Amino acid sequence: MSVLQVPVQGAEQQLEPVFAVKGLWKIFGPRAGKIIGRPEADLRGAELMARTGCVAAVRDVSFDVRPGEVFVVMGLSGSGKSTLIRCLTRLVEPTAGQILLHGEDIREAGAGELRELRRHRFSMVFQHFGLLPHRRVLDNVAYGLEVRGEKKAQRRARAQQMVDLVGLAGREQLYPDQLSGGMQQRVGLARALAVDPEILFFDEPFSALDPLIRRDMQNEVIRLHREVGKTMVFITHDLSEALKLGDRILVMRDGEIVQIGRPDEVVGAPADDYVRDFVRDVPRSDVLTLRWIARPATPDDPLDGPVLAADVVIRDAVRAVLGADRPIRVQAGDEVLGVVGAPEILAVIAAERAGEG
C-alpha cells in the first residue's frame, strides 16, 4: 500500500488522538465478514462483485484525528468517504478493525452509549441540510437539545445564541423553505453547534451550494473553528475546499488511503500520480510554505537578512523577499532552515505562469 504518513513535528506529536482508527474495513454484501483475510479481499470493484456479490467501500484504513484539528477526507465520488465517516459514528457498522475514541473502541458501545455519543459528543452536517420543514429556524436549531430533554427556555436561549453565531439573527421565525440554500446550511451548522459537541462531522455540506455561497460557508467554517475550536472531520470531493479548510487531508481512492498530510505536503509531495493529478492546477505559491523553497546558505550569502517563519505561505512572503536587499532567513523555532532570495521566489512564480505549477 502506498501510504505516505509524514511524521509530525513538535508539540502536535504529544497530543493523544481523539480518534485512532486501526485496520478499518467496511464491506457491503452477503457474508461480508468472511472475505477479509482471504484472497478475495484483494479483488477490486467489478471482480469482487462478480465473485462475491460484495463491495469493499473501506479497505484496511488506519489514521488518527487529533484534538482541535480540521481533518479533511478527500476523494472522488464513490471512493468511500461517506462510508468511512459513517463508520466513525456507527451509522454504518464496520466489518472489521478498531475505532478508538479516546482509547475506547466505539465498536463495543451498546445502544445506550451510542445514543449518548450522538446526543452529546457528536454532531453532523449533511449535504442535504436535513432540516425539519414544518419547524421554524429557532426550533430546528433547538432540535438536538429537545431530543435530549432540555427545558424549553434553556434550549431556546441556547438556540438563539447559535442563530446569532451563524449570522441568522432576525430569521428565527422563518421556515426552511423561506431561506436560500446557504441560509439553510447555516441553520444546519447552528443546529450542529447547539448541542456543544466535542466533534463535528461534515459530509460534503456545501456541495449543493453555488460557488460564491460556498466560499462564504467555507469562510464561516474557518471562523467558527477559530471561535469554538472543535475537532472537525470534514468530507469533500473538492480539492480547493480541502486545501482551504484542512489542517490535514486524507486522500482516498477505492476505499484506501493514498496519502495523509498537511495541505502543503499533499501539494508539494504528492504520494502518487492520482494525487499529483488532483493537485496539478493548484498554484504552488498559495499553498507551499517557505520551508519548501529554502536553500542552504552559501559562504557568499549575507546572513543578517530579515527572518521569516518556515510555515509562512510563499504568496505572503513575496513582497518581503523581493523588497529585501539580502536573502531572507527561514526559521523554524530557533533553527535556521536556510535562506530564500528573489531567485527562489521567482522560480515558483515563473513555473506557475508556465502552467507547470
Ligand X SMILES: Nc1ncnc2c1ncn2[C@@H]1O[C@H](COP(=O)(O)OP(=O)(O)O)[C@@H](O)[C@H]1O
Enumerate binding residues for ligand X (CB under 6 A). Answer: 28, 55, 57, 75, 77-83
Q: Which is nearer to ligand X, 82 or 285 (CB)?
A: 82
Name the minimum Å distance from CB 243 to Mg ion: 19
Q: If contact means CB under 5 to 8 A according to the sort of partner, which of Mg ion, ligand X, none does residue 78 touch?
A: ligand X
End-to-end CA distance of the chain: 27
Query: Total residues at the site for Mg ion (CB under 5 A)?
Result: 1
174 contact partners, CB below 8 Å, separation of at least 6: 136, 137
Q: If contact means CB under 5 to 8 A according to the sort of partner, which of Mg ion, ligand X, none does residue 231 touch?
A: none
List the strands of the sheet with 104-105, edge to edge: 55-65, 19-28, 96-101, 104-105
Name the minimum Å distance from CB 274 to ligand X: 14
Q: Which is nearer to ligand X, 95 or 289 (CB)?
A: 95
Residue 234: C-alpha distances to residues 65, 106, 163, 201 (Å):
11, 20, 22, 6
Q: Which is nearer to Mg ion, 75 or 338 (CB)?
A: 75
Determine if 89 is a binding residue for Mg ion (CB under 5 A).
no
Name the minimum Å distance from CB 130 to Mg ion: 14
Q: Which of 82, 231, 236, 259 binds Mg ion (CB under 5 A)?
A: 82
Q: Which is nearer to Mg ion, 57 or 189 (CB)?
A: 57
Q: If contact means CB under 5 to 8 A according to the sort of partner, which of ligand X, Mg ion, none does residue 80 touch?
A: ligand X
List the strands of the sheet with 199-203, edge to edge: 122-126, 199-203, 231-236, 70-74, 248-253, 256-261
Give, in degrees to the nearest 5, the angle at Cα 221 between 191 and 241. Answer: 125
Q: Which is nearer to ligand X, 80 or 97 (CB)?
A: 80
Name the minimum Å distance from CB 81 to ligand X: 3
Q: Which is nearer to ligand X, 41 or 190 (CB)?
A: 41
Q: Measuring CA to CA, which residue among 190, 232, 273 is closest to residue 73?
A: 232
Could you tell me the three cell numbers for 121? 459528543
Name the minimum Å distance from CB 272 to ligand X: 18
Name the minimum Å distance from CB 81 to Mg ion: 5
Q: How far apart are CA 203 and CA 124, in angstroms?
A: 8
Binding site for Mg ion (CB under 5 A): 82
